[in-house]
Amino acid sequence: MKRSIVISSFLIHLSCFLSIHGISSANDTINTTQIIRDGDTIISPAESFELGFFRPGNSTNYYLGIWYKNVTVRTPIWVANRENPVLNIASAALELISGGRLLLRDESTNATIWSSNTSRTAHHPFAQLLDSGNLVIREADDDRPENYLWQSFDYPTNTFLQAMDMGWNLITGRERYISSWKTEENPSPGDFSFRLDITGYPQVVINRGSTVLHRLGPWNGMRFSGTPSVRRNPTFTAGLFMNSTVVYYREDSLDRSVVSRFTLSQSGVGQRLTWVDRSQEWVVYYNLPADICDTYRLCGAHGSCNIGNSPACGCLDRFVPRDEEGWVRSDWSGGCVRRTPLDCPNDVFLGYSGIKMPDSRFTWFNESLNLEECRSACLRNCTCTAYSNLDIRGEGSGCLHWFGDLIDIRLLSGEEQVIYIRMAASELDSNGKKGKTVVIIAVLTSLGVVVLLVLCLVLFIWRRKKIGQKLTEEGGRKESPEEDLELPIYDLSTVTKATNNFSTSNKLGEGGFGPVYKGILDDGKEIAVKRLSQTSMQGIDQFKNEVICIAKLQHRNLVKLLGCCIEGVEKMLIYEYMPNKSLDLFLFDEAKSKELDWPKRFHIINGIARGLMYLHQDSRLRIIHRDLKVSNILLDSEMNPKISDFGMARSFGGNETEANTNRVVGTYGYMSPEYAVDGLFSLKSDVYSFGVLVLEIVSGRRNRGFHHRDHHHNLLGHAWILYKEGRSLELVDNNIIVDSIYVSELLRLIHVALLCVQQSPEDRPSMSSVVLMLGSDGVLPKAKQPGFFAERNVFGTENTTSTVVTSSSNEFTITLLEAR
C-alpha cells in the first residue's frame, strides 16, 4: 500500500514538472526536447487535426503540414515550408529551440528549411496543435488565452477555417489572406488570392495578382452582399470586426461535428466544402464564381448581370447603353449611363433592390447615421452617386455612400438590401412621390415578353429586304426576301483584282459552298473570299444563311464577315483573313502538331467554348452552328481560334432551343445521335460536337477513322474506356509534354469533353456551364456513356437517301439526308 502511494506521488510530481517545462504527456504538443521526423505526428486534443510530413499528389517532395485527422481523403489545410520543399526526408527534423522558435532543418547539412519568425522569446516554450487547426507557440506559465508567441493562423495558405481571422492589423500592416497552390503537387503560392479588401467599406475579392477577378459585395451585417443563398448557418456564426487597430472577418463553429472549410483552388475558384461521412467525400456548398455573372465588372458601369437572361448583361432601370453598337456586339465594357443627365442639387434618389451591392472601393461610411441622415448627406454632396444602410438587420443602421460609377452589379433574388441611386428629378414616377423603390425584377412579365418578341419580329421582317431581293434578282430563285443587314457590298472588279483574278496560287481551299481565295485590297488589307460554286446545289441557301446569321455578330472567337459581292452570277462572301488557316492543318499534321503545346491547345479550346457560348446565349438570337468541327476552326496570327462556316447554322428566337428537320446537315463523327438519327437538333447538338472536338484536340486524333488494336471503337469509345479505367492520360497526344502542372487540367478537359458527348442531350451541360467548368476546379459529375462511341454506320440503309461531299480523307459533310 505504501509502495503504491509513493509511485502515484512520483507520477503526479513528474506530470507537474513536465507541464511547467512545456513538456506534455499528451501527443498534441512539441517541447524543446522533442524532434519530429518522417512518420512522427502530433494530434490535436479531440483528434480533429494532425501535423506531420506529407507528399502532395504524386510529388517526390515532402512538406510539413496540417491535415484533417478523421477525413479519409488526406486534405492539407496548412503548409509550413510551402516555398521550400524537403528534398531529403531521411534527414529532415522539426524541433522547438530554446526561446520559442520552431525550426525545420536538414540534419545532414544543418541547413534551415523553414522556421517560425517568432518575435518574442519564452523561458519555457511549447508548441501545441489546437482543435481549430491552429498550431501555436506558448509560454508554459502564461495562462492568458490566445496570448500566443506565434500561430499558424497568421500565415494561412489556401484554406480558410473557422476561428481564423481574415483581414488586416492596422498597426503592424500585416494582412491575413489565403492564396492558391501553384498545382496539386506544388503548394507554393499560386497566382490567385482570396482577401478582404478594405480600400473602401470592406468586401471580399478574388484577385489574380493585383487584378480583381470576382467579388463578393460589402458586408451587410449578416453576410457579404452577393451571397443571399448563404443564410444564417446553424453550424457557425460569422461577423466583420472593425476598430482603430484591426479589420477582419471571422467565422466561429457552433457544431464541431460538421467539418467545413473554404479553399481557393489552383485556378482561382473559391469553394465552401463540407465533409460527408456517409459518402466519404467533400461536398461543395457554393462556388465563387458561381457563373459568368460573378465575373468582375462584366457589364460595365451601371450595368446589371442576370444569369437567367440571354444576353446576360442589361442596364439598370432608367439607364441606357453608353455604346449602342458595342452593346449589340455583346461588348458591354462601355456600360450604361443615365437616360436623363443629373442636375445637382435638384436630383432625387430612387431605390433598387434584389441586386448585389456595387463595388465599394470608392465609398465612405459612418456607423452612427440613420438612413434619413445618410440621404441628406449624400444629397448635399454632388459627387455622391448612391447611398444605403450598413446593416440590413435593422432600419437606419449606419450609412454607406458611393462615389463615381456603380460597378459590378448582378441581379439576385432574395437580396433585400436597398441601394438608393442619384437620378434626375424628372425620373420620378408620375405620382410625384420621392424615394419610391424600383424593384429590379429578374424575369420579365409575360406581357412584356410578348410585346418584346412582337417588336423584334416586326423589325426582323422590315429589314429582310435588300440582300434577299438582290439574291432573287441575280440568282433567279423565287424565295422570300431575306434580311437587309446593311452589309458592305464589294464590286466584282475589286474582288477580282484582290485575288489576282482568282488565281490558283491564291486558292486556300474548297468546300461544299465553293472555293476560298486569299486576297489583298488596295489598302493592303488581307481578306478571304468564299466564292459560290455555280454547280453547288445548296450554295445559294448557305450563302444567304451565312449572311443572315453572322453579319451582325461580333465576338473575338467568331470569324468576322466583312461584306459580300453580288454581281451577275457571282455570289461571294468576304471575310477577315486568317493567316494560320484552319486548326485541322495543325492538329493532324505530324510536323505542325508539335507546335501545339498544351497551353496553346487549352487556349484554343477555351476560345471555341466562349465563341459557342456567345452563339447560344449572348448573341441577338440563339444560333446553332450544326457543323462544328476542327476544319471550321480558323486560327489568326496569334493562334486565337475563330469559329467559321455558318452556312448550315440555324437561328432561334425567344426561348426556342430545339427543332426538328427532315434534312440533316453536318459532318459524320461530329453529329449528335438525336440529330443524325431523328433529325432533332438543339443547343445540345453543338455541345456534343464541341465534346468531340475537344477530344480530338487533346489526342491529336480524328474521331472517325480512329483505330486501336484492343477494340473497334472510335475516339469517343476509346476515351470512354480509358476514363472508366482511370487511365485518361493515355489519351493525350504524344506531342504534348505532360508537365505535372498540366495533369489536372488535362484530366479535367477530358472529363468535360465526355460530359459533352453523353448519349442523352439532357445530360449534357450548357456551354455557359462548360466555360465555367473549364475555368474552375469544382467537382464534376460522373460522365455517362457517350453517344456513337462505336465505329459503325449509324444511319443504316433502310428508307434513306443521301448525297455527300468529301472535304478530307476522313471527313464527310452531309449536304442532304432525307429522314425516314
627 is catalytic: yes
- Residue pair 241/247 in contact (Cβ under 8 Å)? The answer is yes
Active-site residue, from 294, 627, 645, 686: 627
* Cell numbers given for 72: 479519409
Distant-in-sequence, close-in-space partners of 694: CB < 8 Å, separation ≥ 6: 605, 749, 750, 752, 753, 756
Domains and CATH numbers, the chain: 1-154 (2.90.10.10), 156-290 (no CATH), 293-443 (no CATH), 466-576 (3.30.200.20), 583-818 (1.10.510.10)
| Residue 122 in grid coordinates | 519564452
**Cα–Cα distances in Å, from 163 out to 43, 69, 77, 127, 142?**
18, 18, 13, 18, 21
CA nearest 265: which of 305, 213, 223?
213
Q: What is the pLDDT, as a whole number, of residue 554?
A: 77
Q: What is the pTM of this model?
A: 0.56
pLDDT the model gives residue 584? 93
Which residues of the chain fall below pLDDT 50?
A: 1-26, 430-484, 654-656, 662, 791-820
In the β-sheet with 178-183, what is the strand arrangement from edge to edge? 178-183, 186-197, 203-208, 211-218
Verify cis geometry, omega within 30 degrees of 0, for the bond prior to 341. no
Closest CA to 489 of 577, 571, 553: 571
Q: Is 353 in contact with 416 (CB distance < 8 Å)? A: yes
Question: What does the pLDDT read at residue 213?
Answer: 94
Predicted pLDDT of residue 416 = 80
pLDDT tens for each residue of 47-87: 999 999 999 988 999 999 999 999 999 999 999 999 999 99
If you search the block for the grid coordinates 500500500, which residue do you land on? 1
The whole-angstrom separation of Cα 400 and Cα 364 is 6
Select from 218, 251, 273, 230 the least CA-distant residue to 414: 230
Give residue-wise pLDDT tens across range 481-520: 334 456 788 999 999 999 999 998 999 988 767 889 999 9
The pLDDT tens digits of the residues spanning 4-27 come to 433 344 333 444 444 333 333 348
Give the Cα separation of 257 and 275 in Å (integer): 10
